[in-house]
Every structure is written in structure tokens, then in C-alpha cells.
Amino acid sequence: MSEAWRPTAALDTLIKRADLLGRTRAFFRDRDIVEVQTSTLDQYGVTDVAIENVEVAGYGYLQTSPEYQMKRLLAAGMPSCYQIGPVFRAGEVGRWHNTEFTMLEWYELDVTLEQLMANVAALVDYLVGPQRVLTKTVQALLKDAFDLDPHKSDEKRCLAIANKEGLQDAHDLYEALDFLVGTAVSKLGAERVFLTEYPKYQAALARTVHRGNVEVALRFELVIDGLEIANGYDELRDALEFHRRCDYDNARREQLGLPVKPIDPNFEAAMAYGLPNCCGVAVGLDRLFALALGKSALQDVTAFGTRVQ
């Protein structure tokens, strides 16, 4: 008889995971940050080129994160809040990827991005153990790894470097740069690093500012032992700019042969009504728990994760 019915993680690991979930909630309870719960299935998905929703025929899309609905709550007057729950992304399967995974999404009102980074570092220290965290710009990351400037890159040279590193048939400069950032991140080694000042084209839903003569996104990623753990923004609050970015995403989708997505009118209306000044972050909890428990794959900390040989 097949043993495929058995959990992928050991039962004692799942019990330790339950304790980590309880400790995570205690972290927010001690800071008076409200837990909320939003839908995992909605009529609309996201336009982001790097993320693909799982579509449920006749019903809509499984959500890639609770971001849109949580921001609708914030626009309606919800105080600082967080959510822990399942999210879904098509085509993401591997040692550190599952189509379904557990995300911690967290928004704080009237804080700076640096304050949120400090709070994220405090959560990681609390769950995994204390360690110094470095801060590095994406420009410095790519300069050290490939002698590239993401703000002034030569497309031909960038494509050639990406091809040498293993990316086949990149469509454009942006796809190659995204790949090279991920490649450089995987080589950071056994340390904790906040990456900051992403190129403006990688702003997603973050605000942008000028640093000297270049425009950068006010966002960060936390990398631990070469693994991306958290992605945070100083949140965009301009509804017109949100619509412009969605149009840009859909133009790229069309160029790349991906399905064009309708813009979520409910989220757009919430943006137009007024999102409060806030910063937010998404944390891959399965990855963070794997680090806390000394495991080397998502299947080792999830009850029924994708079995990877």
C-alpha cells in the first residue's frame, strides 16, 4: 500500500510549529496589533507580472496575498493589523515553494519603513534567535555580484550575464535584472540582510522617492541564509498611480504572452477613498518556521507539503 497519505512533516515538528504560531500571535498581542481574517477566494486577482493567481472557474481567484482586502479594511478605519493564513500562487513548486503556503501579512499605521524593518527583525529574533542584521541596497548587491548598476543597466550586457547565470530566453532587461537579483540573493551566505532601494520598476505597491539622480522604491526584502523571508513597502496611497502601474503590468503581460488581468475595482475604490499612512510587510511563515526548527525544505514543516526529491 502507498505511504503517500502520510504527512510530509514529522508530528513532533508540527507540534513545534503550533507553538511557533502561538508565539507569533503573542508577539502581535503584546503590541496591540489586531488580528483580522479576509477571504482566500475573490472575484479579482492581481496584475503583477511576477505573480500568477490560481483561477477557480466560475468563482474567481484564490488570493496570492491578503494585501488588497487588508488595505480595504485600513481605508475603512481598521487600526494596525495582521493576518496569518493560506495564500496561493500558480506555478510555484520546489524545495522552498508550494502552490499553497502560509503568509503573515502585517500593516502598521504611522511608522517609517525603518521602524517596520526593526519590528520585523524583532519578530525574527523572537522566533529564530537573535543575530545582527545588515542593510544593503540593491544597487550595492548587483555591483558586488555582477558589476551592474540596476538604475543604469545596459540591456545587452545584462541579458548576457543573466544567460551565463542560467536564465534562458529572457524577454527584456527587467526580467533579466529580476533574475540576477534573485541569483545574487541566493549567494549572500549565512547572514541576515535587509535589501533596500529597489529600482523604480520593482516598486509594485510601494512609494518611490529620488535618491540623488535616480528614483528608487521604498521597499525592503529580508534575506536569511540566502533565502527570501519578508517583503515590505512604504505603501503607495495614490489611486491614479496605482491604476497607471496596473496598466503598465498588463502591457507587460501582453508582451510576455501572459493573461491580462482586470483591475480590482473594490481595491481601487478603497485607494481613491484614502489609504492611511502605513507600512506593510508579507512574511513567508513556512520558510521562517523551517529556519527556526532547523529544517531544509517547506515539506519538512507543513502537514502535507509538496514532496520534493
Q: In this predicted model, what pLDDT tens digit does every residue of 167-207 receive, in sequence order?
A: 887 777 788 888 898 898 888 877 899 999 999 989 999 99
* Whether 134 contacts 191, CB under 8 Å: yes
Asked whether residue 58 carries a pLDDT value surpassing 90, the answer given is: yes
- Highest-confidence range of 48-52, 154-158, 240-244, by mean pLDDT? 240-244
- Mean pLDDT computed over every residue of the chain: 94
Query: What does the pLDDT read at residue 103?
Result: 98
Q: pLDDT tens for residues 96-128? A: 999 999 999 999 999 999 999 999 999 999 999
Left if phi > 0, otherwise alpha if psi is -120 to 50, otherwise beta: which for 255?
A: alpha
- Highest-confidence range of 92-96, 173-177, 212-216, by mean pLDDT? 212-216
Range 140-156 average pLDDT: 87
pTM to 2 decimal places? 0.94
Locate all alpha helices (DSSP H) within 170-224, ordered by sequence. Answer: 173-186
How many percent of the chain have pLDDT more than 70? 99
Q: Which own/partner pairs from 293-300 qualify as long-range (CB within 8 Å, at least 24 positions apart)?
A: 293/13, 293/16, 293/17, 293/20, 295/13, 296/95, 297/95, 297/96, 298/95, 298/96, 298/97, 298/98, 298/101, 299/8, 299/9, 300/8, 300/9, 300/10, 300/13
CB-CB neighbours of 32 under 10 Å: 8
3-state secondary structure of 47: coil
Backbone Cα Rg of the chain: 19
Query: What does the pLDDT read at residue 150?
Result: 86
Residue with grid cell 474567481, as numbered in its chain = 60
Asked whether residue 309 carries a pLDDT value surpassing 60, the answer given is: no
Asked whether residue 69 carries a pLDDT value surpassing 70, the answer given is: yes
